[in-house]
Amino acid sequence: MKRIIIDADTGVDDSLAILYALRSPNFHVEGITTCFGNNNAEQSADNSLRLIKLSGCGYEVPVAVGANESLEGVFESAPAFIHGDNGIGNVELPESSQKPLEESASDFIIRKAEELKGELIIITTGRMTNLALALRKDPKLPGKVKKVVSMGGTLNAPGNITPYAEANIYGDAMAADIVFKAGFNLMLAGLDVTMKTFITDRDVENLCTYCLEECRPIAGYIKDVLKFYFEFHRVSMGMANACVVHDPLAVLIAEDPSLGMFKMVRAGVEYENEAFKGMIKTDNGFVPDLDREEIAVCVEVDSVKAVRRLFSVFQDMTPGRYNKS
């Protein structure tokens, strides 16, 4: 059982990642911390609370609100046409009676790292601001957590916010640079693999047909939220009835790293030069810095297996019942 915190800017793809983690028998979600990005941090917390309720996970999952601006004081939220006005494709999920903790996201991360004595895995699906703030308060944090797995960055794929940068890393490039160099056991699932992994309407149909009775409301939510997200992919990328898979890949790789192939690099993030802001600089070409810990960047992934696994936790997997196509 892997004990995880998900640090999210709870938008459409974050919500799939969260629902998967809450239903997977291999995870215990110790908490969800939130950050600005697809929403402000309060909206991300509200979405997370609604998703916990929807998941029916059967245990308590605390939610802590985090940063509403980058370390440099910038708030930039994603345009509503990507994630909707509420971050979850304008789908109205039932409200939760659970309230967010009084404790900040960074304090919560530090406390859980202490409590779990080296067992904690932190999965970030948004900006790395909360983690950088936690590091400022506790520089020994990297030695206290098992691993950090992040959706973010790109080595060779084109950026999705500038030609060189991925949105989560760009959104707080200074925080990412701090986290990259801090000595965490860090794995990245970035655009090199997320842009090659697709959910299609066929997957959604299968999910709805073969979902477990208790997961019907989850399947209904996924169908609705992906309808919105598919439309964004149609308009911006010309994709018909499909979307790429960003945040769920970080969770899937945290659960089972054998889904991917990794390249070890020593890396930093550009944050001073505006044109290249958010670009990952590696020892391959830009920054030969041999004192620094290596990070593992996922460069190949078994996308078909990943997507099948993503939906498997909501489905009846009895042999013969599940449509294998």
Structure tokens at 232: 């964004």
State the minimum distance, in angstroms, from the CB of residue 123 to Ca ion: 11
Q: What angle do CA 199, 1, 300 make, to 5 degrees?
A: 40
Regarding 13 and contact with ligand BDR (CB under 6 A), the answer is yes
Residue of 107, 138, 172, 246 marked active site: 246
Q: Name which of 87 and 100 has its Cβ closer to ligand BDR.
A: 87
Q: How far apart are CA 302 and CA 310, in angstroms?
A: 12
Side-chain-side CA neighbours of 179 within 13 Å: the count stands at 31
Q: Are strands 2-8 and 120-124 parallel, antiparallel or unpaired?
A: parallel
Regarding 166 and contact with Ca ion (CB under 5 A), the answer is no
Interaction partner, residue 177 (Ca ion, ligand BDR, none; CB < 5-8 Å by kind): none
Exactly one of 168, 282, 303, 315 binds ligand BDR (CB under 6 A); which one? Answer: 168
Query: By CB under 6 A, what part of segment 231-260 binds ligand BDR?
Result: 246-247
172 is catalytic: no
Query: By CB under 6 A, what part of segment 145-164 binds ligand BDR?
Result: 151, 160
Q: Which amino acid is at 103?
A: E
DSSP per residue, 13-82: HHHHHHHHHHH-TTEEEEEEEE-SSSS-HHHHHHHHHHHHHHHT-SS---EEE--SS-TTS---PPPHHH
Nearest to 8 by CA among 95, 102, 78: 78
Regarding 167 and contact with ligand BDR (CB under 6 A), the answer is yes
DSSP per residue, 142-191: GGTSSEEEEE---SSSPPSSSSS--HHHHHTHHHHHHHHTTT--EEEE-H
Regarding 267 and contact with ligand BDR (CB under 6 A), the answer is no
Regarding 127 and contact with ligand BDR (CB under 6 A), the answer is no
Query: By CB under 5 A, what part of segment 232-261 binds Ca ion?
Result: 247
Question: Going by C-beta distance under 8 Å and a sequence separation of 6 or more, which residues neighbour residue 36?
Answer: 9, 44, 67, 68, 69, 75, 76, 77, 126, 127, 129, 171
Q: Which helix (H) or strand (E) holds 260?
A: strand 260-265
State the minimum distance, in angstroms, from the CB of residue 167 to ligand BDR: 4
Q: Name which of 16 and 29 has its Cβ closer to ligand BDR.
A: 16
Exactly one of 78, 245, 267, 313 binds ligand BDR (CB under 6 A); which one? Answer: 78
State the minimum distance, in angstroms, from the CB of residue 160 to ligand BDR: 5
Exactly one of 126, 153, 171, 260 binds Ca ion (CB under 5 A); which one? Answer: 126
State the minimum distance, in angstroms, from the CB of residue 168 to Ca ion: 6
Q: Interacting stretch for ligand BDR, rule CB under 6 A, among 7-15, 113-121, 219-227, 313-321?
A: 7-15
Nearest to 241 by CA among 251, 231, 255, 256: 231
Q: Name which of 11 and 62 has its Cβ closer to ligand BDR.
A: 11
138 is catalytic: no
Q: Which residues are catalytic?
A: 9, 246
Residues that bind ligand BDR (CB under 6 A): 11, 13-14, 38, 78, 125-126, 151, 160, 166-168, 246-247
